[in-house]
Structure 1
Amino acid sequence: MRKIHWLDWMILALLLLFAGYVWTRIEGTLNYKWRWEIIPQYLLHYDQDQGRWTAGILMEGLLNTIRISVLASILALVLGTILGLARCAQNLAVRMLARTYLELLRNIPSIVVIFIFYFFLSEQLIAAFNIDGWARDIARGENAWLWQVFFGDMRRFPSLVSGILVLALFESAFVGEIIRAGIQSIPRGQREAAQSLGLPWRDEMRFVVLPQAMHKIVPPLANQSITLVKNSAIVSLISVHDLTYRTLALVSSTRAIFEAWITTALIYGGLCFLLSLLFRRLEKGSDR
């Protein structure tokens, strides 16, 4: 384990001094009154009526952020794998279609993508498949609790689906390029050996190329998953009740601007840090 150097202590001291300076400037120049004591009740609070601890609005927002991030990551991985394989396909039309999709999504700001999808596509899809009515029926059903574990409040299920889809579509473009780069990094001799054995393209990818590519694409995929967690805050713009949306509601009702946003920043930072530790262990396991 690496020992802490004197330079590390100096950098830490400078960071603490800078934080103290910002704190005093906010308190003095802006005449801001800190109210940190109100924040814990918006994380966890004891419900006298139910007789148990319940999640506050920030914790509810965090749970929704985790749901959105996990489901969007799974969907983005599936779509990105298909796109990555399509980018390496032998058919020119398939390659061009995949590249067009990737270039469009990668070069358009995410905020533009989310508004285009939500206002022009999502509302029509939700109405066409009657997702809103279906979600209300589930919310009144006997197994509503099981659906709530995975999707939260089913009354807001349509907006949650919109957020998951738009995040997955946007992130799949980056995942697709990671998969494509991993496939093309495999030495050509490996593919030629597979072809000499008479393996079709599908089996060549399945048994020869992709298993070797996985070792190279795990680190960038892990980084992209962490990026997705941070990018998930943008779904608050379409009224998805994630952590950022709940923080906006908290600031609006309490005016505890700095306390709320600092707490939210720490929650996002802690979540991403835990993910980085998890992926680091997975990378070490894949190298064995």
Structure 2
Amino acid sequence: MKTIRKLHWLDWLVLALLAGFFGYIWWKIDGSLNYNWRWHLIPDFILRYHTGREEWFANLLLQGLITTIRISIYASILALVLGTVLGIARCSANLTVRMLARTYLEVLRNIPPVVVIFIFFFFLSQQLIEALNIESWARGIARSDNPGIWEFFFGDMRRFPSLVSGVIVLALFESAFVGEIIRAGIQSIEKGQREGARSIGMSRYQEMRYIVLPQALTRVLPPLANQFITLIKDSAIISLISVQELTFKTVELVASTRMIFEAWITTAAFYFVICFGLSMLFRRLERRRRT
């Protein structure tokens, strides 16, 4: 109620214009395109009851959403590790290490994501999966009597190689942005603290581990949180390499049912709920940390 009272007449005008715009779009779709809305079918593609087994099961959209969440979590952890290494390398005293890290970061940050995804997938991810024989290992687990714990963390083990490909490709791409965030955090630490560490006999490694990195990571938590939300949205790109996440499942649903608007609006709502919820959570945690 307090928020509503604070709204200015100009705020109400903007809200009215937005409502009018979306109403016009809805009218054009319903009238000009003569589109047959079938919203009543969407819940069955999220969660459906199996009459034979007498149990509920996750259908296409919920399967894709769960895969998206798994990929986002694992890719963010890997991107944080790689990004931290790259950020430290960007601040290295060794010119060669510093230039190699900068080259990696600049190349990935200035090439379209789709191009980077395909390059990493065909030249790195696929080769790594074949070299480690991950596909046959995952099939062996899928045929075993008790694959429950594996399926809880990784889903259908028959699709485990595609999950690994998506995590590796997404993490390598996002690590470039995480690396720049970590580099900015390291360079924000005052020189006096470093000089103080060296004056008491700390090595460069000890100085980075005990003095610089703990403070740098604390300072860059807000941009890292924003990057994690960006990673969730960027995960839609890996549907191009047949990783069966939410966007890929939505394409399957549209191809089989022709429910174009219902499927994509539902998918957009899923992404919005996750990203907006995380944004509110990170904002609250940041306020609590400041307090």
Shared fold (TM-score greater than 0.5)? yes
Match of 1:229? 232
Q: Distance in 2 between matches of 1:39 and 1:55?
A: 13
Match of 2:141? 138
Partner SS state of residue 99, structure 1: helix
> Aligned runs of 1:97-112 on 2, under 5 Å?
97-112=100-115
Q: Distance in 2 between matches of 1:120 and 1:83?
A: 21
Shift of 1:111: 0.7
Which 4+ runs in 1 deviate beyond 6 A? none
Give TM-score scaled by structure 2 length: 0.95
Equivalent residue in structure 2 for 1:176, among 174, 179, 182: 179
Q: Distance in 1 between matches of 2:285 and 2:176?
A: 23
Structure 2 counterpart of 1:148, one-letter code: E
Structure 1 counterpart of 2:215, one-letter code: Q
In structure 2, the CA distance between the partners of 1:43 and 1:125, relative to structure 1 (3 Å rule), is same
Q: Distance in 2 between matches of 1:32 and 1:89?
A: 59
Match of 1:47? 50
Match of 1:3? 3
Match of 2:68? 65
Question: 1:84, 1:178 within 8 Å by CA — same for their partners in 2?
Answer: yes
Report the identity percentage. 65
Say yes or no: does 1:208 pair with 2:211: yes
Question: 1:215, 1:286 within 8 Å by CA — same for their partners in 2?
Answer: no
> Aligned runs of 1:188-207 on 2, under 5 Å?
188-207=191-210
Give TM-score scaled by structure 1 length: 0.96
Partner SS state of residue 220, structure 2: helix
Shift of 1:182: 0.5
Match of 1:26? 29
Q: Distance in 2 between matches of 1:246 and 1:223?
A: 26
> Aligned runs of 1:138-157 on 2, under 5 Å?
138-157=141-160
Structure 2 counterpart of 1:51, one-letter code: E
Shift of 1:209: 1.3
Equivalent residue in structure 1 for 2:97, among 88, 94, 103: 94
My pick for the range that moved more, 80-89 or 118-127, is 118-127
Shift of 1:194: 1.2
Match of 1:80? 83
- Matched length: 288
Equivalent residue in structure 1 for 2:163, among 144, 160, 164: 160
Structure 2 counterpart of 1:171, one-letter code: E
Question: 1:215, 1:287 within 8 Å by CA — same for their partners in 2?
Answer: no
Q: Distance in 2 between matches of 1:126 and 1:208?
A: 38
Cα RMSD of the aligned pairs, angstroms, is 1.4
Q: Distance in 2 between matches of 1:241 and 1:218?
A: 30
- For structure 1, which runs of at least 5 residues remain unmatched after alignment? none
Q: Distance in 2 between matches of 1:130 and 1:223?
A: 35
- For structure 2, which runs of at least 5 residues remain unmatched after alignment? none
Partner SS state of residue 165, structure 1: helix
